[in-house]
Structure 1
Amino acid sequence: MKLFKVWALILLIAVLTVGCANTEKSGSEAKETKEVKEVKETNNYEGLTVKLGVQGSGGLWGKAREEKWFEDEFGQFGVKVEWAEFQSGPPMTEAIASNHLDFAGLGNMPIIAAQAADIPFKVISQLLEGKNNVAIITPTNSALKTIDDLKGKKIAVAKGSNAYNFLYRGLAESGIKDSDVEIIQLQPDEAQPAFESGGVDAWATWDPYITLNTLTGKAKVLTDGEQLGVLSPSFQIVRKEFAEKYPELVTLYLKVFEKTRLWEEQNLDEALNRYATERKVPVEVIKGTQVRSKIINIPVSDEIIAEQQKTADFQYEIGNIRKKINVSEVFDNQYVKEALK
């Protein structure tokens, strides 16, 4: 009889424990639904579509698009997601200027040019450190060894890109005038065949093009940001009007991006194999891009802002932007700080 009472007591405790757990779970789910409901009631998202800009297809963004992480999170608020692909940063800022894009990840120079052109946007997080993600490459069998050897040579570069700024600053700091070289403005899809065919002697570009060419034996690095002391960080930006109207959605965007970034970090082998299959290159090539261009999502430091100001001042001095700008005016870390809590 005593044994029966003991087992009855154990069973009662087990039932109560499961009941409490279910109650807690239900309460948590109810709380989450309540939070979403409160945001919906506070803000009117009727008919709203968030437009996300990416450079190329696949990669980290490809995973997020396949899993519909952004669609699911924004969908809780009745907000639709639309994707747009670009080859480089300048067309992205043009799309933001015409209200055809809300978010974009791009290099330092397009951001400076956009600010100088009075395009309204905010920088909301840093995306790349900027030491090795931009470089000048030459064919593997090229006799060129230093940046000084570029005198009289043809150099391909995408106008207005971070590589454009890197090239001009690198030449200037090496005492090479614009007139000493022939700069040919080409987008990556135009520059690649020109580079391979010998139509240009060098190519100022960014990753993955650096690694794709060097690790497949097509190119060697003549110099990069770390060697020249010229940083080329990348950032995430948002259309200013969108941020002012929907600050909570800017934070949500960065939260989902951080979820995507952490997926890559925690499933690196899977991610590398995925990217290699997408680009039809050996996985070693993709590992190389990770070394040069590891994605981050952090507040922008005062040191990086100071470096950005140097770039802006230089671009004004050589006449690439029309007016002097104070770059600190466009940086706003509040969203990423909230997203990373």
Structure 2
Amino acid sequence: MHPGPFDPHADQSPSSAWRRAARHFLAAVLGVLVLALGTYLLALPVAHAQAQGELRIGYQKSASLFVLQKAQGTLEKRLAPLGFGVKWVEFPAGPQLLEGLNVGAVDVGYVGEAPPIFAQAAGAQFVYIGFDPAAPRAEAILVRHDAPIRSVADLKGRKVALNKGSNVHYLLVRQLERHGLRIGDIQPVYLAPADGRAAFESGSVDAWAIWDPFQAAAEKATGARVLADGTPGVVNNYQYYLGARGFVQQNPRVVQALFEDAAERGQWLRKNPRQAAELIAPLQGLPVDVVEQALQRYEFGVQPITRQVAADQQKIADTFHALKLIPRPIKVSDAVVFGQD
């Protein structure tokens, strides 16, 4: 029979009392450790949720591929295994998007050729990380269907509406040069797309340099005629993927997942242009047939930046500096993460 705690025959020596005290102490310590471990394990799901990342994407409604990705939710599914969610942040135009990237409001964005040049000249911190192939037909100089203007050379002395410092500014300069004219030989009227269309339709300007989907909308609604676009070999009209340098360096797998999803969605779009247009049109506020026509003039298939593409972008930067549109010369390659040439 084992002695109980109050057994008069139990060993009451000092050493026995010490052992009993030690056992009580160890039991108390073990209890504290078990409680602490339980609290830690219960906190694990919360800690994981707090550590989960988020890819903040700056986009414009006119950027059809991003609009499609947002509508279909494919990027969210692709990033989930990496512990990343997606936040879509809409901007009215490229310059505002670049400012958002510069101040840390977004991690990546998608814009045309001109906004990054102005942003770099202003000291913005970003990097080019990818580009979509050339889409020279997705921007054009339009004239009214009954206009007597038959050649870019006929624009001499006439009013041409355009968005100052945009891709079409470069298109207009290059087309004028190709026909022996300079920007000073016409009367540029600097207007945002909505105001440009109003001026074009009212006849207060003779031509309008504009990009898709605004270009397709004017063609469909007014019968506007393409006087000249980026062909043949006049401009490339690349679309660029940009990123915050720190985010790109720290999250290469996230950037790769973004590219993989963009390439996959681009392939689907090319095979299903009508279905894609039906998804995109309500978000852009445009008729389906307008969006479908615009989609057919873009190329979707993101690729890493090459030195040749950077050199083409440098030509635009040099042109804008010569026109005094940017205050200082820039070196585009300083802001490029190059892929394999």
Q: What TM-score does the superposition give when structure 1 sets the normalisation length?
A: 0.75
CA distance in 2, matches of 1:176, 1:139: 21
Residue 125 to residue 228, structure 1, CA distance change in 2 (3 Å): closer
* Aligned-residue offset at 1:182: 2.4
Q: Which residue is equivalent to 1:53?
A: 58
Partner in structure 2 of residue 103 of structure 1: 108
Q: Tell me the CA shift for residue 280 of structure 1.
A: 4.9
CA 1:227–1:257 in 2, change beyond 3 Å: closer, same or farther? closer
Select which of 57, 65, 71 maps to 2:76. 71
Q: Write out per-residue CA displacement over residues 245-281 of structure 1, whole angstroms, 9 at most, x where no aligned residue.
A: 3222222221222232233234344224444566553
Which secondary structure state, in structure 2, belongs to the residue aligned with residue 129 of structure 1? coil
Distance 1:280 1:318 in 2: 34
How far off is 1:237 after superposition? 1.0
Retained in 1: the 8 A contact 2:82–2:254?
Answer: no
Quick check: 1:154–1:201 contact (8 Å CA) kept in 2? yes
Q: Could you say if the C-alpha distance between residues 219 and 228 of structure 1 is closer, same or farther in structure 2, counting changes exceeding 3 Å?
A: farther
Counting matched residue pairs gives: 292
Is residue 2:159 matched to residue 1:154?
A: yes
Whether the 8 Å contact between 1:131 and 1:224 is mirrored in structure 2 is yes
| Identity score, percent | 28
- The 3-state SS of whatever aligns with 2:110 is strand
Query: Counterpart amino acid of 2:237?
Result: S
C-alpha distance in structure 1 between counterparts of 2:126 and 2:286, whole Å: 36
Question: Paired residue for 1:308, among 306, 313, 326?
Answer: 313
Separation in 1, partners of 2:60, 2:53: 23
Partner of 2:247: 242
Q: Aligned equivalents of 1:326 and 1:57: distance in 2?
A: 28
1:119 is aligned to 124
Give the equivalent residue in structure 2 for 1:30.
Answer: none
Q: Contact between 2:126 and 2:243, CA under 8 Å: does it hold in 1?
A: yes
Instruction: Give, in angstroms, the shift of residue 106 of structure 1.
Output: 1.2
Whether 1:136 and 2:141 are equivalent positions in the alignment is: yes
Contact 1:128 1:296 in 2 (8 A): yes
Do residues 190 (structure 1) and 195 (structure 2) align?
Answer: yes
The offset of 1:226, in angstroms, is: 0.8
Is residue 281 of structure 1 aligned with residue 287 of structure 2?
A: yes
SS at match of 1:132: helix
CA distance in 1, matches of 2:268, 2:182: 45
**Partner secondary structure for residue 268 of structure 2:** helix
Structure 1 residues 176, 44: closer, same or farther in 2, change over 3 A?
farther
Question: In the aligned structure 2, how far is the partner of 1:227 from the partner of 1:213?
Answer: 22
- Alignment correspondent of 1:19: none
> One-letter code of the match for 1:315?
F
Name the CA distance, whole Å, in 2 between partners of 1:56 and 1:79: 23
* Comparing 309-318 and 72-81, the one that deviates more: 72-81
Residue 262 in 1 paired to residue 284 in 2?
A: no
**Residue 81 of structure 1, CA deviation:** 2.0
Following superposition, the deviation at residue 113 of structure 1 comes to 1.8
Residue identity matched to 1:200 = V
Amino acid at match of 1:250: V
What amino acid is the match of 1:206?
W
| Correspondence for 1:271 | 276
Question: What is the SS of the residue equivalent to 1:194?
Answer: helix
Kept after mapping to 1: 8 A contact 2:64/2:280 = yes
- 1:216: how far off? 3.9
User: Is residue 90–residue 161 contact of structure 1 (8 Å, CA) maintained in 2?
Assistant: no
Please point out which of 323, 332, 335 is paired with 2:328.
Answer: 323
- Retained in 2: the 8 A contact 1:105–1:127? no
Write the distance in 1 (CA, Å) between the matches of 2:156 and 2:63.
Answer: 37
Max Rg structure: 2
Contact 2:197-2:218 at 8 Å conserved across structures: no
Q: CA deviation at 1:220?
A: 0.7
Can you list the C-alpha shifts for 1:117-144, whole angstroms capped at 9, x where unaligned? 2212121221241321221111111111
Task: Give the drift of 1:184.
Answer: 2.2
Unaligned runs of 5+ in 1: 1-42
| 3-state SS of 1:226 partner | coil
CA contact (8 A) 2:171 2:234 kept: no
Match of 2:89 among 75, 84, 91: 84
TM-score when scaled to structure 2?
0.75
| CA distance in structure 2 between the partners assigned to 1:148 and 1:221 by the alignment | 14
Q: Which amino acid aligns with 1:136?
A: I
Instruction: Write out aligned runs for 1:166-177 (5 A).
Output: 166-177=171-182
Aligned to 2:40: none
The structure-2 alpha-carbon separation of the partners of 1:329 and 1:52, relative to structure 1 and needing over 3 Å to count, comes to same
